[in-house]
Chains A and B, each alone.
Chain A
Amino acid sequence: MSPDRSIDLGAGFADPVRDAQECFRAIMSAFAQPGTIVTLKRTPPVPAGLSEAMTSVALALCDYETPVWLDAVLRTSRAVTDYLRLHTGSRTCEAPETAAFAFASSFHLLPELVSFAQGTLAFPDASTTIVLEVSELKPVAGWRLSGPGIEGHTPLGAGLLPPQFETALKANRLLFPRGVDIILCCGDQLTALPRTTCIEPGS
């Protein structure tokens, strides 16, 4: 067949309703207990460039009403943009401050957190949720998290995130009730860093 007719597209969730609900529940748990690492069980086939967790989050949360920002690499990938358009119906947006969700395959492709939608005092929920892929997620030393949903403190090791990310998260927390929420993904695992979470270098 002539190659220009073929489209690089894969299937979504095997059982769209049930799988999306299960993923939604996992994200809820992650936000309720920041820093807890959740493993997703029913992940869909993924387009090249997105992990199982990122793809699941996109399928569970994005729809035609949520503008999606993609980093420079994901944005130029037909496999990723076609997949998201077919299975979520969402449109990609150029400006980070208009995004409901932002997907970044690497920290280095993520602009400053303050360039995303921060919400307003009247509507703090109108902020961007940032979904960021990291090289590893481990419940060991790295960061020491505390705040709502955490009894005492919890350790979190998110691979290869530089110190300036930690600084940006601290600044983000000071904006409360405004600010962005972050989902860190690694393979089929994810964890959440809501804007309320206090982050310190841990041991």
Chain B
Amino acid sequence: MMTETNTGLPPDTAAVRADRLLRQRLMRALAQVEPAEIADAMRALGELPAATDLRAPQTGLVMLRGRVGGDGSAFNIGEATVSRAVVKLQSGEVGFGWRLSRSLVAARQTAMADALVQRPDWQVRMIAAVILPLEARRTSRRNATAQATAATRVEFFTMARGSE
């Protein structure tokens, strides 16, 4: 068992860094797809372990801050609708889910996915059934948009002008 200091952070070993990268990649994949696609991916996992809500799914606003041109002082641009949830598996892992949109279901599924990917016995399944399929969906949608846009591209020419 690893000893933890009271900073709340586990020691920064290669294994911990790898786990963190995997969680970040999972969050990125989940954040960039629609709630229905998350539901499909989670269904493909089959039966999930029991979990309790530490924070029941809830929707609220976050203030977006920005600055002009990357410098100057920060100002409030506006608010974005965000849903969040925190779940805890019976085995002790705590998963956090935040996403744009009002989908409470997707927020909880995101938290559930974050908890599962921390379990060594679920990591391979999570990569195969959630991360890779969702990344592929996002890539194909991006390509489709790029193709549709490319088909309507207008080439502008500048005719020779003047009389030289």
A4→B4 contact, CB < 8 A:
yes
A86 CB-CB contact with B under 8 Å: yes
Neighbouring A residues of B1 by C-beta, 8 Å: 2-4
Q: Tell me the residues in window 12-39 of chain A with beta carbons closer than 8 Å to chain B beta carbons.
A: 12, 16
A2→B54 contact, CB < 8 A:
no
A11 CB-CB contact with B under 8 Å: yes
Total interface residues on B, using CB and 8 Å? 21
A76→B92 contact, CB < 8 A:
no
- Nearest CB of A to B94, in Å: 5
Partner of B52, one of A1, A11, A76, A81: A11
Neighbouring A residues of B52 by C-beta, 8 Å: 11
B54→A9 contact, CB < 8 A:
yes
A76→B88 contact, CB < 8 A:
no
Q: Name the residue of chain B whose CB is nearest to the CB of A16.
A: B58
Whether A78 contacts B119 in the complex (CB less than 8 A), given A1-B92, A12-B55, comes out as no
A82 CB-CB contact with B under 8 Å: yes
Neighbouring B residues of A76 by C-beta, 8 Å: 6
B120 CB-CB contact with A under 8 Å: yes
A5→B93 contact, CB < 8 A:
yes
B158 CB-CB contact with A under 8 Å: no
Partner of A81, one of B4, B8, B53, B86: B8
A86→B10 contact, CB < 8 A:
no
B55→A78 contact, CB < 8 A:
no
Q: Name the residue of chain A whose CB is nearest to the CB of B11.
A: A4
A6 CB-CB contact with B under 8 Å: yes
B92→A5 contact, CB < 8 A:
yes
Interface string of B100-130 (1 = CB under 8 A from A): 0000000000000000001110000000000
Interface string of B57-76 (1 = CB under 8 A from A): 01000000000000000000
Residue positions of B touching A, CB distance < 8 A: 1-2, 4, 6, 8, 10, 52-56, 58, 86, 88, 91-94, 118-120
Could you list some 17 contacts between A and B, CB below 8 A? Answer: A1-B120, A3-B1, A4-B1, A4-B10, A5-B92, A5-B93, A6-B92, A6-B93, A7-B93, A7-B94, A9-B88, A12-B55, A16-B58, A76-B6, A78-B8, A82-B8, A86-B86
Given contacts A6-B91, A16-B56, 7 further A-B contacts (CB under 8 A): A7-B93, A7-B94, A9-B94, A11-B55, A81-B8, A86-B54, A86-B55
Q: Closest 9 interchain pairs by CB?
A: A6-B92, A4-B2, A1-B91, A7-B94, A11-B54, A3-B1, A5-B118, A5-B93, A9-B94
